[in-house]
């Protein structure tokens, strides 16, 4: 008998028919002799709808009340799914995050899990019931309801799988797994049978929207194997496991992109110790995440610095840097919103030279200018004009032959 965590995303439970289809799948899994813990998201676009309502009703959004509001979506879904499961002759029991034992810090709208005490979940399982847990929620030390943030249900699933020592954590979604590229942009993108935690983490950090990056990080840190799969076709999806050094490693596994990027350039700053520290600290204090920093070698003691920030933070980042301009001797601070990042990810590039060269050659052959470059051990990223990024993704996916299957390190 295996213990499985099955997490269903919003589209998987968007309406009554989908709820019943999910209940049917859960009950079949139970009837095959497994124990199942379900984690569920809010139905369809309900979280967006609740956030919209908050904006419509009031301009005051205290964290405590926002969390109470937003987590109502998942709470509603848990009760409905339990009813649908009961219809099929299996007992189910709904749990809020707090009841399921999710203790968090007090950061409303983005709470971090500090501990999971799943006593009541174990009791339900022992009594032969299917626990259905509301995703993305917990309880703070002050005993307030907390929300783990957008995409937080994935993290709930991984955390409960870890706490219970589950045999598998299945993340059901509206696509059939993790793809070599966004299939909406690259029609011949291929579903991967397998991807390593490290690769998927690089992918999610560089624009791959699902699963939520935090959940992949948690899964990697605690060795929770994931199975990303479809709640529409129910076919086998993508297994996410730690890198197996006995297995062949794909040189390149995927091409991902992120258009939610903007560039800030500080021109003519003095090239002396402490400049980068200064503006980066000011940005960090404003909670702005700076990424991909490029500084030129200086000519005559002055240099230019460029870095990227999320789109939504561009105006504030420029303001903050302008406020620093006099102190760091900067000539100008400019922003460029219409940029995007394209990244090639693959565990095998660690030991296989030439990936960066192929990336640059491919972009050059397509007349796409590279504005910035960054690499990690298993990733090459280029910042390009936003209007070129989809072309870049298609060209790179093709250049590495990803539609035909992985090319392994020999």
Residues that bind ligand ASP (CB under 6 A): 10, 41-42, 47, 73, 135-136, 150-153
Q: Residue 150: name its binding partner from Mg ion, ligand ASP, none (Cβ under 5 to 8 Å by kind).
A: ligand ASP
Which one of 125-133, 214-222, 361-369, 386-394 is the stretch in contact with Mg ion (CB under 5 A)?
Answer: 386-394
Which one of 20-28, 259-267, 319-327, 369-377 is the stretch in contact with Mg ion (CB under 5 A)?
Answer: 259-267
Residue closer to ligand ASP by CB (options 101, 211) is 211
Rounded to a whole number of angstroms, the minimum distance from the CB of residue 172 to ligand ASP is 12
Rounded to a whole number of angstroms, the minimum distance from the CB of residue 309 to Mg ion is 10
Q: Residue 35: name its binding partner from ligand ASP, Mg ion, none (Cβ under 5 to 8 Å by kind).
A: none
What is the pattern of x (binds Mg ion, CB under 5 A) and - over residues 325-364?
----------------------------------------
Rounded to a whole number of angstroms, the minimum distance from the CB of residue 10 to ligand ASP is 6
Residue closer to ligand ASP by CB (options 8, 179) is 8
Residue closer to Mg ion by CB (options 116, 368) is 368
Nearest to 159 by CA among 240, 243, 72, 39: 39
Which one of 27-35, 249-257, 351-359, 384-392 is the stretch in contact with Mg ion (CB under 5 A)?
Answer: 384-392
Rounded to a whole number of angstroms, the minimum distance from the CB of residue 264 to Mg ion is 12
Rule CB under 5 A: is residue 388 a binding residue for Mg ion? no
HEC string of the chain equals: CCEEEEEECHHHHCCHHHHHHHHHHHHHHHHCCCEEEEEECCCCCHHHHHHHHHHHHCCCCCHHHHHHHHCHHHHHHHHHHHHHHHHCCCCEEEECCCCCCEEECCCCCCCCEEEECCHHHHHHHHCCCEEEEECCEEECCCCCEEECCCCHHHHHHHHHHHHHCCCEEEEEECCCCCECCCCCCCCCCCECCEEEHHHHHHHHHCCCCCCCHHHHHHHHHHCCCEEEEECCCCCCCEEEECCCCCCCCECCCEEEEEEEEEEEEEEEEECCCCHHHHHHHHHHHCCCCCEEEEECCCECCEEEEEEEEEHHHHHHHHHHHHHHHHHHCCCEEEEEEEEEEEEEECHHHHCCCCHHHHHHHHHHHCCCCCCEEEEECCEEEEEEEHHHHHHHHHHHHHHCCHHHCCCECC
Residue closer to ligand ASP by CB (options 64, 150) is 150
Which one of 73-81, 254-262, 268-276, 300-308 is the stretch in contact with Mg ion (CB under 5 A)?
Answer: 254-262
| Rounded CA separation 74/155 (Å) | 14
**Token pair of 369 as six digits:** 């200018």
Rounded to a whole number of angstroms, the minimum distance from the CB of residue 95 to ligand ASP is 16
Rounded to a whole number of angstroms, the minimum distance from the CB of residue 340 to Mg ion is 5
Q: Residue 386: name its binding partner from ligand ASP, Mg ion, none (Cβ under 5 to 8 Å by kind).
A: Mg ion
Residue closer to ligand ASP by CB (options 135, 207) is 135
Among 175, 386, 392, 393, binds Mg ion (CB under 5 A): 386
Q: Residue 151: name its binding partner from ligand ASP, Mg ion, none (Cβ under 5 to 8 Å by kind).
A: ligand ASP
Q: Are strands 226-230 and 254-270 parallel, antiparallel or unpaired?
A: unpaired
Residue closer to ligand ASP by CB (options 138, 152) is 152
Rounded to a whole number of angstroms, the minimum distance from the CB of residue 260 to Mg ion is 6
**Token pair of 143 as six digits:** 């005993």
Applying CB under 5 A, the residues found at the interface with Mg ion are 259, 261, 386
């Amino acid at each position: 008998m295996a213990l499985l965590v099955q997490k269903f995303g919003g589209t998987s439970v968007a309406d009554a028919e989908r709820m019943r289809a999910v209940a049917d799948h859960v009950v079949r899994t139970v009837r095959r002799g497994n124990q199942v813990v379900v984690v569920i998201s809010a139905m369809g676009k309900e979280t967006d709808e609740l956030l919209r309502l908050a904006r419509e009703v009031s301009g005051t959004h205290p964290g405590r009340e926002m969390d109470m509001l937003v987590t109502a979506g998942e709470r509603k879904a848990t009760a409905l799914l339990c009813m649908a499961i009961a219809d099929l002759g299996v007992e189910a029991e709904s749990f809020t995050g707090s009841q399921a034992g999710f203790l968090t810090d007090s950061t409303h709208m983005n709470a971090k899990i500090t501990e999971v005490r799943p006593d009541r979940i174990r009791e339900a399982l022992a009594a032969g019931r299917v626990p259905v847990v509301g995703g993305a929620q917990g309880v703070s030390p002050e005993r307030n309801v907390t929300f783990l943030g957008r995409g937080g249900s994935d993290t709930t699933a991984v955390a409960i799988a870890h706490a219970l020592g589950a045999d598998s954590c299945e993340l059901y979604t509206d696509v059939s797994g993790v793809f070599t590229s966004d299939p909406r942009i690259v029609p011949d993108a291929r579903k991967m049978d397998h991807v390593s935690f490290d690769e998927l983490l690089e992918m999610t950090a560089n624009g791959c929207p699902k699963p939520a990056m935090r959940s992949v990080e948690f899964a990697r840190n605690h060795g929770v194997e994931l199975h990303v799969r479809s709640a529409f076709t129910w076919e086998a999806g993508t297994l996410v496991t730690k890198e197996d050094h006995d297995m062949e490693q794909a040189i390149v596994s995927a091409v991902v992109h992120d258009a939610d990027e903007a560039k800030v350039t500080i021109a003519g700053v003095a090239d002396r110790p402490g400049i980068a520290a200064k503006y980066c600290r000011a940005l960090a204090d404003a909670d702005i995440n700076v990424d991909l920093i490029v500084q030129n070698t200086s000519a005559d003691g002055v240099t230019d610095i460029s870095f990227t920030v999320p789109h939504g933070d561009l105006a504030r980042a420029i303001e903050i840097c302008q406020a620093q301009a006099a102190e760091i001797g900067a000539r100008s601070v400019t922003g460029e919103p219409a940029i995007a990042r394209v990244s090639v990810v693959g565990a095998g590039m660690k030991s296989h030279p030439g990936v960066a060269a192929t990336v640059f050659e491919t972009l050059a052959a397509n007349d796409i200018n590279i504005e910035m470059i960054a690499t990690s051990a298993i990733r090459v990223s280029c910042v390009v004009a936003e209007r070129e990024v989809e072309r870049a993704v298609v060209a790179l996916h093709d250049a590495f032959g990803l539609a035909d299957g992985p090319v392994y390190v020999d």
